[in-house]
Amino acid sequence: MSTLMEQRGWFSALASSSEPERSGPEPDWLRNTRDLARSAINELPVPNRKLEAWRYTSIEGLLQQQFTPAVEQGHSWTHEELEPWLGPATDVYRLVFVNGQCIPRLATGLELPTGVALGSLRAALGTDPKLLATWLNHTGAHEEHLFSALNTALIHDGLLLHIAAGVQLDRPVEVVYLNLEQDQALLNQPRNLIVLEPGASATLVERFIGADEAVYFHNQVTELVLQEDAELRHYRMQEESRTAWHLSSLYLSQDARSRYQGTTLSFGGRWARTEYQTRFQHEAAHCDLNGLYTVGKGQLTDFHLDIRHSVPNCTSRERFKGILFGKGRAVFDGRILVEKQAQKSDAQLRNDNLMLVRDAEVDTKPQLEIHADDVQCSHGTTVGQLDPQQVFYLRSRGIDTDSARRMLCLGFAGEVIDTIEIPALREQAMERLTATIRTATETLE
């Protein structure tokens, strides 16, 4: 697929290949939103190496795949069938999506406090269309991003989490996205809307899981709106199939004194990209982003950050770490923009990479663009290998070489893992990381 026309045709064909199933009349605003997105698909630039945001990440392999948009489920999934992936739901409000569609009978613990709406975006079109009309596309997600426009053109289902002013959610919300093998490669496109009104707070956990050898494209758009004094702790663990394509686009809007703390762990996928776009709308907001990625043979993992300080007195922290082995490849493209009026901004960006083999590759590009003169900002990156002296020190204490390497890798990643404040999730993340590192170190000479 070499010509621009062929590439754009790939998007256009998907956008027009399937009309989402409707349970009733479609609101005019939603139909207009879809129409605008389809028009944008014909106008927005196709991601390519000439675009700075896609300089190091090719989509050529993705565009060679043929996907079918997932709509209705042809299989009635049961708890017993999905238990190997779901695991126990202890002390959480849980929603389960299978191939991009919410399965209400798999939800657990949804005796919700007053003022909390949690459920399927598709169902909310029938029960609370005014809420969706007010907030959906609030961040203008499809305006500059071709993959987001594709998601908008085919809005079908996704997560709705709306918390009224002053409500403190007592348990975490856990959302599990299961991408399971089908007779055809599926395009799964959850569209998520998360709104916390003034003074509300919550913890959200998202898990992305794919069946072995399942081929699919998980193209997710998440809009997060935090109003005054709202607080969201957001943990994401990506464990997709090693034959899957994964793109998560998160659009975060923060009002005065709001706080967002996000940690993303990326382990799976053949091609996986996570994008954060953060916009500070009023003063004294804080955004804290953490990420950890492991990249092995045949994998590409990409993190793209666009943090814009447009008002004074806001703070942001970005800390991302990568462990690379096999012939894996990672991309980190982090940008902080401090506009002229954003005095007293405090922004810190850091990316560190640990290369276990010489064949691995990382392209890291932290960027800091400052137009204000009264700020505290810094950025930096490192790329290095395990320190032989540290390995030798551990070996001199009776620890074998593989165990010494694993200990050093776990120590390197610990700063990110420790940002997870849910003990069970932190333990699960550490187990997954330990298994990955064990596989990686056992293949080293």
Question: Which tens digit of pLDDT belongs to each residue from 122-137?
Answer: 999 989 999 999 999 8
pLDDT number for residue 19 = 60
Radius of gyration of the chain (CA): 21
Question: Which tens digit of pLDDT belongs to each residue from 194-220?
Answer: 999 999 999 999 999 998 888 999 999
Question: Which tens digit of pLDDT belongs to each residue from 135-164?
Answer: 998 876 667 899 999 999 999 899 999 999
Mean pLDDT of the 394-402 span: 89
Query: 181 is written with which tokens?
Result: 């093998």
Question: Which tens digit of pLDDT belongs to each residue from 316-343?
Answer: 999 999 999 988 899 999 999 999 999 9
Mean pLDDT of the 367-393 span: 94
What is the H or E stretch that residue 95 is in?
A: strand 93-98
DSSP secondary structure of 122-169: HHHHHH-HHHHHHHTTTT-TTSS-HHHHHHHHT----EEEEE-TT-B-
pLDDT number for residue 445 = 61
Between 149 and 70, the higher pLDDT residue: 149
Work out the angle between the directed axes of helices 423-442 and 401-417 (0-180°, nearest 10): 150
Question: Which tens digit of pLDDT belongs to each residue from 340-357?
Answer: 999 999 999 999 999 999
Q: What pTM does this model have? A: 0.95
Domain boundaries, the chain: 4-282
pLDDT number for residue 71 = 73
pLDDT number for residue 108 = 87
pLDDT number for residue 20 = 55
Query: 422 is written with which tokens?
Result: 């849910």
Examine the pLDDT at 379 and tell me if it is beyond 60: yes
CA distances in angstroms from 307 to 104, 157, 253, 333, listed in the order given: 35, 28, 11, 11
Give the model's confidence band at 83: pLDDT under 50 very low, under 70 low, under 90 confident, else very high.
Answer: confident
Nearest of 192, 171, 170 to residue 89 by alpha carbon = 171
pLDDT number for residue 5 = 77
CA 392, distance to chain mean position in Å, is 38
Mean pLDDT of the 411-418 span: 95
